[in-house]
Chains A and B, each alone.
Chain A
Amino acid sequence: MDEFMTSRLPDDGAGWIAIGLSDDVPAGCVTGVVLAGRQLALWRDGEGAPHLWEDRCPHRGMRMSLGFVRGNDLACLYHGWRFDGAGQCRQIPAHPELKVSARICMKTFDVAERGGMLWGWHGRDRATGAPEVAASGTAVRSIHAAVPAGAMRVMLEETPGEFFYGLGQLLPVGGHPDLFSLTMEDGTGELVLALQPISSAQCAVHAVLRGQADAALRAECARRMGWLRDSAERGHDDRQGADT
């Protein structure tokens, strides 16, 4: 029924998937993300804690990613129903005096924050362990590209030099198909990329710097990420064109 629900993802195993940069979801902000084929709402409450929920109000199906944050609650844009950090509905404005039933709650997903990125847990059971990246990281940027994750992975594995020449060599991180790392040639820092499958036609790549991360280097890496997105989309268009 939903294109996101039916798209097959390459990685069926349980694990953490990068869903955004910490810096891009400030307190009081909500956005839509896709985790392993599910459309979710990612938001940060007034005290800075991130939350990852089903992107759908249980009342009338409105996408919560269009909602608004009040204090530590997320409210639905349609009728203002307010849900606390645990996903429990606390207030129904149409009936201000009503004690809200405990069964009105959001389906929540495990979210972690590590290495400058936000991660969502993909798996039947609750999350185990933390994302396997170093704890610190300075935001470079995220790119969203209109190509499947598989095509992006091939580019990152086979032709990283087209985008990252002069900086260092981009290499896959062992044991993790969606993590890549580049150690700067001068040894001062490391660029880390995390690939996020979105749909059969879309993916995102989130980039952070470790170690040295001055504005000039962040800007240079951000530019290269833009090239990566544009090249991936152009290459994909060309291949699609050749098929028809």
Chain B
Amino acid sequence: MTLTTDPVALDAWYAVATASEVTHRPDRTRLLGQDIAIDRCRDTGAIRVRPVLHGGEYGDPLPVIERYACVFTTFGNPDTPIVEIEEAGEPDRRVVPCGWFTIRSSGPRIVENFLDMAHFPYVHTDILGSEPNTDVGPYRAEIRADVDEVWATGCHFWQPRGAATERDGSGMMMHIDYRVPSPFIVMLYRVAPSAPDRRDAIALFIQPMGEELCRAQPVEFLVDEISTHTELLHFEQVIFLQDRLILENQVPRRLPLDGQAEIPTRADTASVAYRRWLAAKGLGYGTILPHGQGERA
């Protein structure tokens, strides 16, 4: 495999490792088709990300930024900085990186699944949803041109056990805002069940290894004085692995951006906005562009 030539994919920041896990021994992984090695320089202690060239030699180091417990890098010249998550800086926030999991699907399919509420009763049964409470009420989705992000606001869904703190399963109406700050990063904000005046934030950082193979790590930024670290982890991991079964069985694996390819309904307003946004950017990596757009050599 070789590095993609898709300019939109190249000019973005990607999380490729958890900073605390990087050692002096280079860890091999792949980003956008290119093998890379991540390690900590013995002299300076700084984290390095280097392409692995044919023959096993390392190329020139790529830009590295440590944020949100992760190591970010890029092959291109992103015209926007890494997403700003204000909550991450609050002193009492619990930052929980939930681990990297491999998924045979495209990054955009993974983002779209994260933006979706209608699947909760069927895929996250008795946790994030359950029949007969399947109704997705109206919400607002928009492409915010000023910040070049997709937002879905005013979302609400009835959840039997929407967070690790909700042990009794009696259920509550969860209020959620979704945010897509970059084609391969997706977030949600929800009212913190144990601190109703504040919002939890959960980000999903996707590392597209290939067009149809990704690693992804959910990172939580929570206000929760009750749950143990392991409880928070396992709650999110179970949800993520339930989605994995869906994601690996969607056909095609790449996200079709042609409006006629798949039939949305009102609950898919966020997904429709995301697809439009990607099509307007001309992202071809992990997508199927509408006919005639962005044909690549």
Direct contact of A and B (CB under 8 A): yes
- B262 interface neighbour in A58, A80, A94, A103, Cβ under 8 Å: A58
Instruction: Tell me whether A63 and B249 are in contact (CB under 8 A).
Output: yes
**Is B123 interfacial (CB 8 A cutoff)?**
yes
**Is B58 interfacial (CB 8 A cutoff)?**
no
- B267 interface neighbour in A55, A58, A63, A95, Cβ under 8 Å: A95
| Interface-side segment among B81-89, B95-103, B131-139, B215-223 | B131-139
**Is A166 interfacial (CB 8 A cutoff)?**
no
A58 to B123 CA separation, bound complex (whole angstroms) = 18
Instruction: Tell me whether A80 and B121 are in contact (CB under 8 A).
Output: yes
Instruction: Tell me whether B118 and A94 are in contact (CB under 8 A).
Output: yes
Interface range on chain A (Cβ under 8 Å from partner):
20 to 34
Interface range on chain B (Cβ under 8 Å from partner):
20 to 34
A55 to B249 CA separation, bound complex (whole angstroms) = 10
A55: B residues at CB distance < 8 A: 251
A93: B residues at CB distance < 8 A: 118, 121-122, 131, 134-135
Secondary structure type dominating chain A contacts: loop
In the complex, chain A residues 62-105 whose Cβ is within 8 Å of any chain B Cβ: 62-63, 66, 77-80, 92-96, 98, 103-104
**Is B67 interfacial (CB 8 A cutoff)?**
no
**Is B94 interfacial (CB 8 A cutoff)?**
no
- B122 interface neighbour in A63, A79, A96, A98, Cβ under 8 Å: A79
In the complex, chain B residues 244-283 whose Cβ is within 8 Å of any chain A Cβ: 245-246, 249-252, 256, 262-267
Task: Give the one of A78, A93, A94 with max B CB within 10 A.
Answer: A94
A94 to B250 CA separation, bound complex (whole angstroms) = 19
- B251 interface neighbour in A39, A59, A94, Cβ under 8 Å: A39
- A95 interface neighbour in B122, B131, B266, Cβ under 8 Å: B266
**Is B40 interfacial (CB 8 A cutoff)?**
no
Instruction: Tell me whether B250 and A2 are in contact (CB under 8 A).
Output: no
**Is B175 interfacial (CB 8 A cutoff)?**
no
Q: Mark A34-55, 1 if CB is under 8 A from B, else 0.
A: 0000010000000000000001
Nearest A-chain residue to B249, judged by Cβ: A63
B135: A residues at CB distance < 8 A: 93-96
A104: B residues at CB distance < 8 A: 263
Nearest A-chain residue to B118, judged by Cβ: A94
Instruction: Tell me whether A78 and B123 are in contact (CB under 8 A).
Output: yes
In the complex, chain B residues 105-119 whose Cβ is within 8 Å of any chain A Cβ: 112, 116-119
- B250 interface neighbour in A1, A63, A95, Cβ under 8 Å: A63
A62 to B134 CA separation, bound complex (whole angstroms) = 18
B246: A residues at CB distance < 8 A: 62, 77-78
Instruction: Tell me whether B122 and A60 are in contact (CB under 8 A).
Output: no
**Is A236 interfacial (CB 8 A cutoff)?**
no
A77: B residues at CB distance < 8 A: 122-123, 246
Known: A2-B252, A78-B246. A95 touches B262 (CB 8 A): no
In the complex, chain B residues 21-60 whose Cβ is within 8 Å of any chain A Cβ: none
A59 to B131 CA separation, bound complex (whole angstroms) = 20
Nearest B-chain residue to A61, judged by Cβ: B250
Instruction: Tell me whether A95 and B136 are in contact (CB under 8 A).
Output: yes
Known: A1-B252, A58-B262, A62-B250. A94 touches B122 (CB 8 A): no
Task: Give the one of B119, B135, B266 with max A CB within 10 A.
Answer: B119
How many whole Å from B267's CB to the nearest CB in chain A? 4
A61 to B258 CA separation, bound complex (whole angstroms) = 13
**Is A56 interfacial (CB 8 A cutoff)?**
yes
Instruction: Tell me whether A61 and B136 are in contact (CB under 8 A).
Output: no
A79 to B135 CA separation, bound complex (whole angstroms) = 11
Cβ-closest 8 pairs across A and B: A93-B134, A94-B118, A94-B267, A94-B136, A61-B250, A63-B249, A80-B122, A79-B118
**23 pairs, CB–CB < 8 Å, chain A vs chain B:** A1-B252, A39-B251, A58-B262, A59-B263, A60-B250, A60-B262, A61-B256, A63-B251, A78-B250, A79-B116, A79-B122, A80-B121, A80-B122, A80-B134, A93-B122, A94-B117, A94-B266, A95-B136, A95-B265, A96-B132, A96-B135, A98-B266, A103-B263
| Known A39-B251, A95-B267; 12 more pairs at CB < 8 Å | A59-B262, A62-B251, A78-B119, A78-B250, A79-B116, A80-B122, A92-B265, A94-B134, A94-B266, A94-B267, A95-B136, A96-B135
